[in-house]
Amino acid sequence: MKIMKQLLCPISPERINERVTRINALLGILFIVAGFVFQSTFLFVFLLADFYVRAFAKAKYSPISYISLRLANALNLQKKSIDKAPKIFAARIGFLLTLAVTILFILNLNIAALIVGGILVFFASLEFALAICMGCIIYTYIILPFYK
């Protein structure tokens, strides 16, 4: 756990509810898995559009974030505020991975799409189950060294 304490994430003054982001991750996992199970380009495109909204626009317009917020409220989950910037960065990574999955799937490169989708599911599973943000890890070890 020493590595986790040394992570540097992008920061902002804005805060969001961690419970909602973890439900977002679960719903993302379900969409990716369902896309492969049902061989549905639509599910990948829907998830891609949703990641785009969360990464580059306002999360309040994201259908998945809306459902996650409603679920968190319905389940009466206690709010836990966290920094918004790392989650935006993670959504951008999710967008890029989902874009790759969608393109590979459309090109019938199913094994490659499954591998990239598996990486996305792994990242989202860490967020959902353990609150481990792969965006912070990627930012610290891959992005940040280019700025030093």
Q: pLDDT digits over 126-141, tens only?
A: 999 999 989 888 888 8
pLDDT at 12 over 60: yes
H or E segment and range at residue 16 = strand 15-17
pLDDT of residue 8: 65
pLDDT of residue 1: 46
Handedness of CA 4, 24, 87, 103 (dihedral sign): positive
Q: Provide the whole-model pTM.
A: 0.90
User: What mean pLDDT comes out for the span 5-26?
Assistant: 84
- For 64, residues 6+ apart whose C-beta sits below 8 A from its C-beta are 24, 27, 28, 31, 47, 50, 54
pLDDT of residue 4: 53
- Is residue 148 very low, low, confident or very high in pLDDT (cuts 50, 70, 90)? low
Q: pLDDT digits over 41-99, tens only?
A: 999 999 999 999 999 998 889 999 999 999 999 999 999 999 888 899 999 999 999 99
